[in-house]
Copies of this chain bind each other. A is one copy, B any other.
């Protein structure tokens, strides 16, 4: 078993500090307009220091993305594996995703602005993105077994769920919609459930 030395802990801490700063800067300026200097300053460090923890701007970017996506996936998996009917789970998934982005607006902006240009280095992120729809799909399949969901193309339906949720997130992120989260979830879930239930 590898014991984490004090140094490891500090390293880890610095890294997460930098990533946090990076997330803020990237979300505000996008990948290209964000400079390492921006990130360093935002983290209260000198430029060179950032390079002690990350090999390149790309690496910081990817790490920031990966971190966020993984955190979201963890939460969604917990929802899907939790108790309740498929209906309950579906609702919870939507809630979770929205709440997550409500609290991580900057992270969402990053995802949003770069999904369009997933070059090779970004592939792992795309995979993680797909994982998300797969979680939803599994819940839908369970719903069909339960008889609560009508027989439909679960893959397509899963995307629909993800897209609708994302749409709301965009509106909230952009500040176009300020209503309570619960109202949004109600509306969208209602629409969806009518659309997919038996």
Residues of A in contact with B (beta carbons under 8 Å apart): 29-33, 109, 112-118, 126, 152-153, 156-157, 159-160, 162-164, 166-168, 170-171, 174, 184, 187-188, 190-196
Contact = CB atoms under 8 A, between A and B. Distances in A.
Contact of A109 (B109, B117, B162, B184): B117
Contacts of A112: 115-116
A152 B118 CA distance: 37
Contact of A167 (B109, B113, B162, B184): B162
Where chain A touches its partner, the secondary structure class is: helix
Nearest to A167: B163
Contacts of A126: 174
Contacts of A171: 159
One complex includes copies of this chain to the number of 4
Most buried by B among A115, A191, A192: A191
Contacts of A113: 113-117
7 contacts: A30-B32, A109-B116, A113-B114, A152-B191, A159-B167, A163-B164, A193-B195
Contacts of A167: 159-160, 162-164, 166-167
A194 B194 CA distance: 6
Contact of A163 (B109, B114, B156, B163): B163
Contacts of A164: 160, 163-164, 167
Contacts of A152: 187, 191
Given A113-B115, A163-B164, 20 more contacts: A32-B32, A109-B116, A112-B115, A112-B116, A113-B113, A113-B116, A113-B117, A152-B187, A152-B191, A157-B191, A159-B167, A159-B168, A160-B164, A160-B188, A160-B191, A163-B167, A164-B164, A164-B167, A194-B196, A195-B195
